[in-house]
Structure 1
Amino acid sequence: MKRLRLVVVGAGVVGFSTAVCIAEALPLCSVTLLSEKFSPDTTSDGAAGILFAAEFPDVPLERQRRWFKDSFDHLLAIAQSQHAPDAGVMLSSGCQIFKEVPANKTPFWSDLVIGFRIMADGELKRFPDHKFGQAFTSIKCECSSYLPWLEKRFREAGGQVEQRKVNSLQELSDGFDLIVNCSGLGSKELVGDAGVYPVRGQVLQVEAPWLNHFIRDGDGKTYIYPGIHSVTIGGTRQEGDWRLHVDKGDTQNILERCARLEPSLKKAKVLSEWVGLRPSRRNPRVERERVQLQGCMVPVVHNYGHGGWGVTIAWGTALDALELVRKCIQEMPQKAKL
């Protein structure tokens, strides 16, 4: 009996989450993951990886809540297990502060994180430029550990991994019955999606073991995230900017902005600087289509365009992608499944 052959394109947090979900749920399928780059060279590797979300304009809020909740519950279970150190997943408490009171004081995810509350005036005194704040406990997921951990889990579920650049879907049509596209920014070329664009992010890793709580400015540009081995500080949100080299001006600006929120950072040693391009889109694309490849109609499931929220919703969108894969398989002619 011929096994159904599935391929997942992309080895970032979305690609590996999707591959693991499919391989574990559909053991009768052969699942291969292809990517040009793997950890530590993916965009996900540099992500600060704290879970909270922005609202996407055209995705039903209930679906966004489900993406967030499924991801949070998945990572919380890891954080509270023996796997936490290997997977790079930890609980993280802190605050998000705003220079002006936001229109929506309680975001859609406020009841999905732990202990969400509005900060008291006394707590805000240390941030004189800010008028409003939210305190809560979330999860930090460090992809430099999490991606290799997911890869191991994928291989244990029978998945195969191959390093290779995929230039077009055409070249996959011979070897696979179903394609899952998690190529992030690569989808601009791979599937001709003109709606995908880069948002350049630059961050620093600093040595500041005395810091235990995260601080994020509500504008999303300035943040301090203590991690397992170092503190991630940032950042930049430069739309349409493809530069991958470190900008010393940005580095200086990040250090100054973060030190205004946390003066002790002036004593922190800079360990490394990193630049990545967030794969942004007006809304993530989590849907299926049938594409004509080499004269055959091949089902393609898309899961990309998460922008700066990949770690936050990867597992949730992966579960959605898995359901789309199931539907594709159910609709295949019986001979294709044999």
Structure 2
Amino acid sequence: MKSVKVVVVGAGVVGFSTAVCIVEAFPSCSVTLLAEKFSPDTTSDVAAGILIPAESPDIPLVRQRRWFKDSFDHLLAIAQSQDSPEAGVMLSSGCQIFRKTPDNLKPFWSEFVIGFRLMTDRELKRFPDHTFGQAFTTIKCECLNYLPWLQKRFQKAGGQVRQRKVNSLQELSDSYDIIVNCSGLGSKDLVGDTQVYPVRGQVLKMEAPWLQHFIRDGNGGAYIYPGMHSVTVGGTRQQGDWRLQVDEEDKKGILARCGRLEPSLSKAKILREYVGLRPGRRNPRVERELVQLQGRRVPVVHNYGHGSWGVTLAWGTALDAARLVGQCLQEMPLQAKL
């Protein structure tokens, strides 16, 4: 009896999360992950990895809430387990501050993080340019640890990993029954999605062990996230910018903005600088379609376009994508499964 062959394209946090969810939900399937680049060379490896979502304009809120809750619960269980140090997943407490009071004082995700509350005037005195703030405990997931940990979990469940650049879905249609596209920014070329665009992010990793709490400006232009091995300081969010080299002016701007929030950063040592291109899109695309490839209709499940919120939503959208794969399996003619 021949098992159904599923291929997942992409080895970032969305790709590996999706591959794990599929191989664990459908152990009778043969699941292969293909990618040109793996950790530490993916966009996910540059991510600060803090779980704070933004609202997608066209996706029902009930679905967005489920994506975030599923992701948070999954990572919380890891953070509270013995796998925490190896997986790079930890609890992180801090604040998000705003120059002007936002329209929504309690965002949709506030009930899923831990201990969400509004900041007091006394706490806000520290940030004279800001008039409103939220304090809470969330999760920080460091992909330099987490991606190898997920890969190990995927392979332990029987998944196969191969390094290969995929230029078109046609290349895969002869070898696989279901294609799962988690190619992020690569979907612009791979499936011709003109809605996908790069959002350039530059960050610094700094040595500042005295910093224990994160600080995030509500507009995302300045953030300080202490982690297990260093403090991630950023950032930029430059739409349509394809540059991968470090920009000195951006670096100065990041240090100036973050230095106003945390003056002690002037004493911190810069360990490394990173640039990554996030897969920007008006909404993440998590859906399935039948695509005509080499004369036959092949089910394709898409899971990409998470922008700055890949780590935040990866597990939730991966569970959704695995459910869509399950629907594809149910609709397959019997001879395809034999």
| Residue 194 (structure 1) shift | 0.1
Name the structure 1 match of 2:144: 144
Residue of structure 1 equivalent to 2:296: 296
Give the distance between the partners of 1:125 and 1:85, measured in 2 at CA.
35
The aligned amino acid for 1:151 is Q
Separation (CA, whole Å) in 2 of partners of 1:3 and 1:330: 14
User: Which residue does 1:252 correspond to in 2?
Assistant: 252
Pairwise mapping of residues 122-141 of structure 1 onto structure 2 (< 5 A)? 122-141=122-141
- 1:166 aligns with 166
The letter for the 2-side match of 1:239 is: Q
Distance in 1 (CA, whole Å) between partners of 2:272 and 2:43 is: 16
In 2, the alpha carbon distance for the partners of 1:57 and 1:24 equals: 32
Q: Which amino acid is the alignment partner of residue 139 of structure 1? A: I
DSSP-derived class of the 2:302 partner: strand
Aligned residue pair count = 338
Q: Give the secondary structure class of the aligned counterpart of 2:56.
A: coil
Q: Distance in 2 between matches of 1:27 and 1:180?
A: 16
Distance 1:319 1:39 in 2: 22
SS in 1 for 2:144: helix
Name 2:16's counterpart in structure 1: 16
**Which whole-Å deviations, capped at 9, do the CAs of 1:191-210 have from their partners, x for residues lacking one?**
00000000000000000000
Shift of 1:87: 0.1
Distance in 2 between the 1:30 and 1:205 partners? 39
Deviations 1:69-127 (A, max 9, x none): 00000000000000000000000000000000001111000000000000000000000
Instruction: Letter of the 1:9 partner, please give it.
Output: V
Q: Distance in 2 between matches of 1:156 and 1:262?
A: 43
1:239-266: per-residue Cα shift (whole Å, max 9, x none)? Answer: 0000000001101111111110000000
Does 1:235 find its partner at 2:235?
Answer: yes
Determine if the alignment matches structure 1 residue 336 to structure 2 residue 336: yes
**Pairwise CA distance, 1:52:** 1.0
Once the 2 structures are TM-superposed, how far is the Cα of residue 170 of structure 1 from its aligned partner?
Answer: 0.1
Q: Are 1:87 and 2:99 an aligned pair?
A: no
Question: How many angstroms apart in 1 are the aligned matches of 2:337 and 2:320?
Answer: 22
Offset at 1:145?
0.2
Write the mapping of 1:1-338 to structure 2, written as runs, cut at 5 A: 1-338=1-338
Between the aligned partners of 1:282 and 1:256, the Cα distance in structure 2 is 30
Matches of 2:298 and 2:277, distance apart in 1: 30
Aligned-pair distance for 1:278?
A: 0.5
Where in structure 2 are there 5+ consecutive unaligned residues?
A: none
**C-alpha distance in 1, partners of 2:159/2:99?**
48
Deviation at 1:7, TM superposition (A): 0.1
Q: In the aligned structure 2, how far is the partner of 1:238 from the partner of 1:219?
A: 13
The DSSP-based 3-state class of the residue aligned with 2:212 is coil
CA deviation vs aligned residue, 1:289-327 (integer Å, no higher than 9, x gap)? 000100010000000000000000000000000000000
Q: Distance in 2 between matches of 1:11 and 1:286?
A: 17
Return structure 1 stretches of 4+ with deviation > 3 angstroms. none
Alignment RMSD: 0.3
CA deviation profile, 1:12-36 (whole Å, cap 9, x unmatched): 0000000000011100000000000
* SS in structure 1 at match of 2:62: helix
Distance in 1, Cα, partners of 2:6 & 2:219: 40
Aligned residue type for 1:321? A
Distance 2:89 2:310 in 1: 15
- Secondary structure of the 1:185 match is helix
* Paired amino acid for 1:194: T
Q: Determine what percentage of the aligned residue pairs are the same residue.
A: 78
TM-score scaled to structure 1, two decimals?
1.00
CA offset digits 1:39-87 (Å, max 9, x no partner): 0000000100000110000000000000000000000000000000000
Amino acid at match of 1:24: E
**What is the rounded CA distance, in whole Å, between the counterparts of 2:310 and 2:337 in structure 1?**
32
